[in-house]
Amino acid sequence: MTPAQIQSFFTILAASNPQPQTELEFASVFELLAAVLLSAQATDVSVNKATRQLFVVANTPQKILYLGQDGLESYIKTIGLYHSKARHLLQTCQMLVDLHGGQVPRTREALEALPGVGRKTANVVLNVAFGEPTMAVDTHIFRVANRTGLAPGKTPLAVELSLLKRIPKEFMEHAHHWLILHGRYVCQARTPQCWTCAVANCCDFTPKTTQR
């Protein structure tokens, strides 16, 4: 994908969705962090169903700690890997209380020091909560970046670094969401919806068929 095509690609995505939002439901930075931590290898839909009940009774690190392992698991048991996720979330909450006054830190180093919080989760929090121009490469973004020719790479980190270099600065704040939503609903894994894709003319991918 050429620089001109990249400019056109994001101009079109921005025009169709000027203010894209994460599909995870949250009302605070801590709720966002908890939801993203729980969303690993799970759908946003399943996480939202659980957190709608959880956050009513426990929406701060201290309140999560009051629940304990068994109490927390009772709210998130419908989410995959809930045993380890409950343990990590409790450990994270303890660190937030002990080291950060119950607040979510604003630096990558501090975020990635939290149990269960890797580079992708830290990037989501930095971007969505604090407006940092980061790129959290999930399976959708990894696929879109490689398939379209936007930022090919063999690893999520390689794709992330390439995207940060290739995406024009004016689009960086929302690029993460545009790419996720495009991958989730249009540039799908098994059957990319090329015949309905608004950015097909900017894309390097050649579909086997252009219509159903």
Per the annotation, binding residues for [4Fe-4S] cluster are 187, 194, 197, 203
Query: Which residues carry a binding-site annotation?
Result: 187, 194, 197, 203
Q: Nearest to residue 36, comparing CAs of 18, 20, 48, 52?
A: 48
Q: For 72, list phi and psi in degrees, rounded to 5.
A: -65, -45
Structure tokens given for 191? 């059957």
Tell me whether residue 138 is one of the annotated catalytic residues: yes
Strands (DSSP E) contained in 54-161 are none
CA-CA distance, 209 to 212, in Å (whole number)? 8
Structure tokens given for 64? 């999560």
For the residues of 13-27, what is the DSSP string, one character each?
A: HHHH-SS---SS--S
Of 63, 77, 98, 120, the active-site residue reads 120
Of 44, 138, 154, 208, the active-site residue reads 138
Tell me whether residue 154 is one of the annotated catalytic residues: no
**Which amino acids are annotated catalytic?**
120, 138
